[in-house]
């Protein structure tokens, strides 16, 4: 009887050791393949939020009210950013009134600024924004930007509405408003 008990315990131990060795070895016919998650590019077309703003400014003795509306435009070609995400491009409508009369009305899209942009940048960018900046001696100045969607990579522009209602567009310098906090180091003031 003891012998039978020893044989039974030995068989149980042998089975346990055998099972343990089998699970620790990766038998190519007997293991589960882990699934690999791949990044799936969404077919969804994203769009920036519709924005509407209104502001007033005095220029040459008159008060001008400026209304700016940015909205996604499904009639424009869809833009695919450098990561493969798709976006609706935007149109921005600028309407300026003075003395209750329409002074200027312009609808902007990315192509308004195309002559200042590289073809590859145009392909992957959208018209991001247009905001009133300041009154200058020449007219009402707005800051505009064309950018990669939802990024900090953009090209800035100045759009000036002249006293006759016509527009002037210039590419702006990214660093024109930058003022260093300390004097730049030059060869003459190094110690």
Look up the CATH number of the domain holding residue 125.
2.40.128.510
134 belongs to a structural domain: yes
Max CA separation in the chain (angstroms) = 117
Q: Are strands 86-87 and 45-46 parallel, antiparallel or unpaired?
A: parallel
Least trusted range by pLDDT, from 23-32, 56-65, 73-82, 103-112? 23-32
pLDDT band at 108 (very low <50, low <70, confident <90, very high): very high
111 belongs to a structural domain: yes
- The rounded distance, in Å, linking the Cα atoms of 159 and 96 is 13
16 belongs to a structural domain: no
Q: Average pLDDT of 143-147?
A: 97
Residue position matching structure tokens 């009154």: 135
186 belongs to a structural domain: no
190 belongs to a structural domain: no
Q: What is the DSSP string of 91-145?
A: EEEEEEEETTEEEEEEEE-GGGGGGGS-HHHHHH-EEEEEEEEEE-SSSEEEEEE
58, pLDDT greater than 90: yes
Distant-in-sequence, close-in-space partners of 181: CB < 8 Å, separation ≥ 6: none
Q: Are strands 79-80 and 140-147 parallel, antiparallel or unpaired?
A: unpaired
CA 79, 131, 68: angle at the middle one, nearest 5?
Answer: 80
Is residue 110 within 8 Å of 125, Cβ to Cβ? yes
Predicted TM-score (pTM) of the model is 0.69
pLDDT band at 36 (very low <50, low <70, confident <90, very high): very low
184 belongs to a structural domain: no
15 belongs to a structural domain: no
21 belongs to a structural domain: no
Task: Please compute Rg for the chain using Cα positions.
Answer: 33
- The rounded distance, in Å, linking the Cα atoms of 13 and 35 is 34
Mean pLDDT (the chain) is 80
pLDDT tens digits along 149-159: 989 999 999 99
14, pLDDT greater than 70: no
Report the run of H or E that residue 12 belongs to, with start and end. Answer: helix 2-24
Tell which wins on pLDDT, 176 or 172.
Answer: 172
Domain count along the chain: 1
Residue 140's domain comprises: 45-171
DSSP state of 25: S
């Amino acid at each position: 009887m003891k012998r039978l008990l020893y044989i039974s315990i030995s068989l149980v131990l042998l089975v346990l050791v055998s099972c343990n060795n089998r699970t620790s070895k990766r038998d190519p016919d007997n293991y589960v393949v882990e699934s690999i998650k791949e990044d799936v590019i969404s077919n969804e077309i994203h769009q920036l939020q519709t924005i509407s703003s209104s502001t007033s400014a005095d220029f040459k003795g008159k008060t001008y009210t400026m209304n700016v509306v940015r909205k996604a435009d499904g009639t424009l070609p869809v833009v695919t950013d450098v990561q493969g995400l798709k976006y609706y491009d935007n149109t921005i409508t600028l309407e300026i009134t003075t003395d209750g009369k329409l002074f200027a009305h312009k609808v902007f899209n990315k192509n308004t600024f195309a002559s200042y942009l590289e073809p590859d940048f145009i392909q992957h960018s959208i018209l991001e924004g247009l905001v009133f900046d300041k009154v200058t001696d020449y007219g009402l100045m707005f800051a505009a930007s064309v950018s990669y969607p939802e990024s900090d990579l953009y090209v800035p522009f100045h759009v000036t509405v002249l006293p006759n209602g016509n527009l002037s567009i210039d590419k702006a310098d990214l660093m024109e408003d930058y003022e260093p906090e300390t004097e730049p180091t030059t060869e003459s003031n190094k110690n």
